Amino acid sequence: MSQSHRESLTKPDGLFPVGIATAHAIVLPIGREFFNIRRSMRILLTGIAGFIGARTASLLLSRGHEVVGVDNMNDYYDVRLKQHRLQDLARESGMDNPVDGFSAFNSGRLSYHPIDVESYAALEPLFADGFDAIINLAARAGVRYSMENPFVYLNTNTKGVLNLVELARKNGVGKLVQASTSSLYAGQQMPFHEDLPVNTPISPYAASKKAAEAIAYTYHHLYGLDVSILRYFTVFGPAGRPDMSPIRFIRWVDEGTPITLYGDGTQSRDFTYIDDIAEGTILALKPLGYEVINLGGGNEPVTINAFIQRIEGHLGKKAQIDHKPFHKADMMDTSAAIDKARRLLDWSPKVDVWDGLKRTIDWYLAQPWMRDITL
């Protein structure tokens, strides 16, 4: 994006664009004029090698957008899975040669930079050509590990957001889609609505995400940054994170390894399929002001016991279960109210949990290298 193009989108005060490009036809009234924002976008997507990041990037590329991706390729889980996702994206963008995930590349509509969002100095040069929007999916995930290393969670999940919104302010980027979490609803009455007071996080991970939401709101209030906060609910699907139960349980049942299960299995989750999450993330690029929106299954939550039983049925194998005490940083149940997503984004999940589980198992069985991924 040229400097003149950037300036043509900004308010008279030069802070943020009056409209943000989306792949959907949205016309905003601006005084006496109308601003048509149906066009291709140039998007900074952080965490591009991650589970949600890679799928979101794939959908953006398929719809003609330009994606500038960053990821620090940290080893919280096996980087080979992140490399696999990046290689798939590179092929989708027209590259023939494999990528290793540790070197920058540019295929035209997709570029990748091995950058950590904790580094303001490393991020700053990326903004030279401008962006229409930022989708921030870079995060340190995992409730239990956040108790072991809370500092890295604060640095990535909170300081990283501050770096991005400050660079947005300085460079006239008017839209932020910020990933958040259903973990903030601990102790609240289900189904979880976005207006609940989420002031009692029970893990450093949840606390860092609450802080990220607050920082984003501050920049909306002070500088007019248009912000969509998305609280994701138990995302699963092909190429999913190996530290989460769906991939772990499939692998353990398949190879006959006992499942480590914290609690008695009656705890439940509002599982949400990855394609639906990626679609909702892209829809949230529309101008909204500042909104917090749940993206979840919106159905009756599924117990972990029922989830395991379905895996047993698909694989034709019986699970061995090693029960451990329920972890105090875990939530007993989650259930998303998604009326707001339907109203603001015209979004609702299309893939139910059992169809999504079958797709995930089929993908896993077709990927023999997944047997070697460290869980």
Phi and psi at 306, nearest 5°, equal -65, -35
From residue 63, alpha-carbon distances to 2, 68, 73, 326 in Å are 22, 15, 26, 43
Q: Which of 117, 112, 92 is nearest to 102 (CA)?
A: 112
* Residues 248/255, Cβ–Cβ less than 8 Å: no
Phi and psi at 267, nearest 5°, equal -65, 150
Concatenating the DSSP letter of every residue in 107-155 gives -SSEEEE---TT-HHHHGGGGGG--SEEEE------TTHHHH-HHHHHI
Q: Which of 187, 148, 178 is nearest to 292 (CA)?
A: 178
CA 363 to chain centre: 20
Say which of 153, 185, 205, 232 is annotated catalytic.
Answer: 205
Q: Which of 277, 276, 301, 271 is nearest to 191 (CA)?
A: 301
Question: Is 145 considered catalytic here?
Answer: no
* Residues 234/182, Cβ–Cβ less than 8 Å: yes
Residues 6+ apart with CB under 8 A from 350: 273, 275, 276, 279
Structure tokens at 365: 């069985």
- How far apart CA 30 and CA 34 sit, in angstroms, is 6
- How far apart CA 356 and CA 362 sit, in angstroms, is 10
Structure tokens at 42: 């140039």
Q: Which residue has the tokens 């409730």?
A: 143
Q: Which residue has the tokens 């989108």?
A: 9
Active site residues: 205
